[in-house]
Chain A
């Protein structure tokens, strides 16, 4: 539409290549000479990298092969912990006979089963920007605390 406001010069019009005319807009030069298609592509790629497009964004979390490997390794370990506690819950039983103790024991068994998943998710969500050593330390502490002893002792003895 901007072209309508420009004085029409028949001589100048013939000099411009027909394709160029169709694919460019008046004012493109003012925006750095980038045509709309390319400009959108550039913007899309910038959106994909928050650190580049948003100066206020949080600093890039530390990423390394070791960190990813540790996170995956502990995911497998914690899965084993959950399986261990599912098996442990079959072994353990409340020595008490009153209803409250039974219910409390069942609740304890249930949260013991989900303890591995809860600990893993907690460390995963609360250490996104922490150093790898800190994250691995919390993962390792959880594995140490949550060893499913009931099933291990039953298997070993």
Chain B
């Protein structure tokens, strides 16, 4: 990653910040592939946000809805995807892909954590 690289005009660049960023096409493909992969945890989060309060209402525990868990479930995929995109600006393709992959893994880990917490705090439903 570090070390001198030579650009077309023969000048030396010192680090990845100065290296030419990934081309638009490869960036777009990367965004799209990871958008699809992030979409499923986001879909799960949204569907929980919509369905769980209704289930709790029907079970007579409308006041015990774990809103913070539902919000984390929706916010985590969005924040981690956007964060990985922002941190990847101006970098080469590999660091971008690495950050998006780490964010995707973290999204899924958080989703499983949220589900487990929700089961723990769930009150007895009628």
Pair from one complex: yes
- Among all A-B residue pairs, the 10 with the closest Cβ atoms: A115-B105, A149-B113, A112-B109, A108-B108, A58-B2, A150-B116, A122-B102, A111-B105, A118-B102, A56-B4
* Per-position binary interface string of chain B over residues 40-55, scored 1 when its CB falls under 8 Å from any chain A CB and 0 otherwise: 1100000000000000
Contacts of B3 in A (CB 8 A): 50, 57-58
- The number of chain B residues touching the other chain, given as a range, is 20 to 34
Q: Is the interface of B mostly helix, strand, loop or mixed?
A: helix
User: What are 25 A-B contacts with C-beta separation under 8 Å?
Assistant: A50-B3, A56-B4, A56-B14, A57-B3, A58-B2, A104-B40, A108-B41, A108-B112, A109-B108, A111-B105, A112-B105, A114-B105, A115-B109, A118-B101, A126-B1, A126-B95, A126-B98, A128-B1, A129-B2, A142-B102, A145-B106, A145-B109, A146-B106, A148-B113, A153-B117
Quick one: CB contact mask for A119-157 with B, threshold 8 Å, 1 for yes?
101100110110000000000001001111110010001
Which one, B4, B98, B101, B112, contacts A88 given CB within 8 A? Answer: B112
- Asked whether any CB of chain A lies closer than 8 Å to the CB of B104, the reply is yes
Asked if A92 CB lies within 8 Å of chain B CBs, one says: yes
Interface residues in chain B, defined as those with a beta carbon under 8 Å from any beta carbon in chain A: 1-4, 12, 14-15, 40-41, 95, 98-99, 101-102, 104-106, 108-113, 115-117, 120
Main secondary structure of the interface of A (DSSP, over half): helix
Contact between B106 and A149, CB atoms less than 8 A apart: no
Q: Report whether B105 and A118 are in contact in the complex, using a CB–CB cutoff of 8 Å.
A: yes
Once the chains are docked, how many angstroms separate the CA of A118 from the CA of B111? Answer: 17
Q: How far is the CB of A111 from chain B (nearest CB, A)?
A: 4
Q: How far is the CB of B16 from chain A (nearest CB, A)?
A: 9
In the assembled complex, the Cα of A147 lies from the Cα of B4 at a distance in Å of 38
Question: In the complex, are the beta carbons of A145 and B110 less than 8 A apart?
Answer: yes
Nearest A residue to B6 via CB reads A56
* B18 nearest CB across to chain A (Å): 11
Given the known A-B contacts A56-B12, A129-B15, A150-B116, are A142 and B1 also in contact in the complex, defined by CB atoms under 8 Å? no
A112 — which chain B residues lie within 8 A by C-beta?
A: 105, 108-109, 112
A126-B99, A129-B2 known; A58-B109 Cβ under 8 A: no
Pairwise interchain contact A122-B99, C-beta atoms closer than 8 A: yes
User: CB-defined interface of A99-115 with B at 8 Å, one 1/0 digit per residue?
Assistant: 00000100111011011
How long is the Cα–Cα vector from A109 to B40 in the complex, in angstroms?
13
B14 lies within 8 A of A58 (CB) = yes
Residues of B within 8 A of A115 (CB): 102, 105-106, 108-109
